[in-house]
Amino acid sequence: MANQNLISLEHDESIDAAATRLCISRREFLQLCAAMATTLGLPQGADAAVAEAVATKKRPSVIWLHFQECTGCTESILRAEHPTLENLILDVISLDYHETLFAAAGHQVEAARKQAMKDHKGEYILVVEGAIPTKDGGVYCKIGGKTAIELLHECAADAAAVIAIGSCSSWGGMPSTGPNPTGASSVGQVLKKPVVTIPGCPPNPYNFLSTVVHLLTFGKLPAVDHLGRPKFAYSTLIHENCERRAHFDAGRFAMEFGDEGHRKGHCLYKLGCKGPETYANCSVIMFGDAGAGTWPVACGHPCIGCTEQGVGFEKPIHAMAKMKNIEPSVFLPRIVEEKGVGATLGSAAVLAAVAGAAAGAGAMVAKNLGLSHQAEELERAKKEGQKASESTEV
């Protein structure tokens, strides 16, 4: 890193120029870079490197493909603020191909994609939104006369990095749920190689932005887990930082939508919240900068586990989550208690023996108490007799 702290950038004109281009103040720009460095879990001094990279380095070319999806990932990115993502797209990265955001269409769009791939061969970032249909040769999704499979292989061949954004491209998402008539598959499955995945339906836009900024700053992608997810965003369970966690620990649960516990903001675990088995930073980084209470659990709806393959869109919303790392107290009541089936002969005999022993012990105690009382009475009578005798003698 060229600079070790933000103070060293105090008189750097490139920082002021970058802030002006992003339509924010210099302070807000530095705060943004510091926040991204913190989000990425980078060491002290990395905020200055991030600021310097965003302000001075060449914008990376980005080619963004759309396949089987609802465009929700793109919509989520367009709704980020401070600064707005349209400024970031136009200033931090060079978005050279994006079917949804392009004003042009048809042959002009395809020509722009091919030109960007040629001009930035081996340097551009390929972002894929949506699952890729593989059944029947991939005929269920074609763009410009080419199947999604053909386009993906063509664009990934000379890409510096491939990022799968959203659950659909990361692991198949909703299109891949049974019976999966189109053979919807993930980017990694089709390319047969690891890719960076940013799952979510939709994912937080800042997870994508931070991944790109890490590449821009350090020339490499951030560390990922075994599923290709950046560790800075997907290494902690949602449950661990949920604002309803205290209610979980105290055994306070909403049992039905709209009941007293639900209205009071109690834990949604028994309504099927998948936070205890879902790795993501939803409870830490809010969507769209709308403030606290803007993510599903805070709004009163259980997490559906959209970032987890095998959970989101596969596990019923009402089904109880499988606890990971954290176990509820054994004293907390279960959502369904087992009915009694009566005592067996063996258990009845044991109970009778215990009860008999207890009764016998009680009788002995009562007997001993009786003897003790009787002895006390005799001792008192004896003392009274001695006093009477002494009086007579006097």
- The confidence band for 82, taking pLDDT boundaries of 50, 70 and 90, is low
Q: Are both 223 and 270 inside the same structural domain?
A: no
Same domain membership, residue 222 and residue 201: yes
- Does the residue 28 lie in any domain? no
Q: What is the pLDDT of residue 333?
A: 59
Q: How many domains does the chain have?
A: 2
Of 211, 232, 253, the residue at which a domain comes to its end is 232
Bridge partners for 66 per DSSP: 129
Instruction: Select the highest-mean-pLDDT range: 32-41, 68-77, 337-346.
Output: 68-77
The model's pLDDT over 164-181, given as tens digits with 9 standing for 90+, comes to: 999 999 999 999 999 999
DSSP string, 51-79: HHHHHHSPPPEEEEEE-BS-SHHHHHHHT
Residues 120 and 149 in one domain: yes
354 vs 236, higher pLDDT: 236
pLDDT score of 18: 78
- In-domain check, residue 376: no
Looking at mean pLDDT, say which of 2-6, 95-99, 119-123, 375-379 comes out highest. Answer: 119-123
Report residue 296: phi and psi, to 5°.
-50, -50
Section 364-371 average pLDDT: 45
How far CA 327 is from CA of 86, 237, 323, 388, in Å, comes to 43, 13, 6, 75
- Answer whether residue 280 shows pLDDT above 80: yes
* Predicted pLDDT at 25: 83
> Do residues 127 and 261 share a domain?
no
Residue in 245, 244, 240 with CA at minimum distance from that of residue 277:
240
Domain of residue 261, CATH code: 4.10.480.10
Residue at 259 is within a domain: yes
Residue 132 lies in a domain: yes
Same domain, 225 and 272: no
* 186: Cα within 13 Å, side-chain hemisphere: 23
246 lies in the same domain as 227: no
* Residue 112 counted as domain residue: yes
40 inside domain:
no
CATH classification at residue 205: 3.40.50.700
Give yes or no: residues 226 and 79 share one domain.
yes
Model confidence at 294, pLDDT cuts 50, 70, 90, reads confident
pLDDT value of position 153:
97
Q: Are residue 90 and residue 214 in the same domain, yes or no?
A: yes
Q: Which of 232, 259, 290 is the last residue of a domain?
A: 232
Residue 151 is given by DSSP the state H
pLDDT at 368: 46
User: Which of the four pLDDT bands, split at 50, 70 and 90, describes residue 357?
Assistant: very low
**Per-residue pLDDT, 225:** 94
**What's the pLDDT tens digit per position in 179-227?**
999 999 999 999 998 899 999 999 988 888 888 888 888 888 999 999 9
Residue 38 reports pLDDT greater than 80: no
Q: Are residues 228 and 240 in the same domain?
A: no
- Amino acid 292: pLDDT: 65
Q: Is residue 357 part of a domain?
A: no
Q: Which residues contact 116 (CB under 8 A, 6 or more apart)?
A: 61, 63, 96, 97, 124
Contact 291, 82 (CB under 8 A): no
Same domain, 259 and 221: no
When pLDDT is averaged across residues 255-270 and rounded to a whole number, the result is: 95
Residues 186, 217 within the same domain: yes
Range of the domain at 157: 58-232
- Kindly state the average pLDDT of the residues 273-288: 88
The pLDDT score that the predictor gives to residue 14 is 80
Per mean pLDDT, which range of 81-85, 115-119, 365-369 is the poorest? 365-369
Among residues 184, 217, 232, which one ends one of the domains?
A: 232
Residues 255 and 156 in one domain: no
The whole model's pTM is what?
0.74
| Type and span of the H or E element at 107 | helix 107-119
On average, the pLDDT of the chain sits at 81
- Confidence (pLDDT) at 365: 40
3 pLDDT more than 70: no
- What confidence tens digit (pLDDT) does each residue in 332-356 have? 555 555 555 554 545 444 444 444 5
Give the residue-averaged pLDDT of 275-283.
Answer: 93
Question: Quick one: pLDDT at residue 394?
Answer: 52
pLDDT of residue 264: 94
In a domain, 382, yes or no: no
How far is 345 from 351, CA to CA, in rounded Å? 10
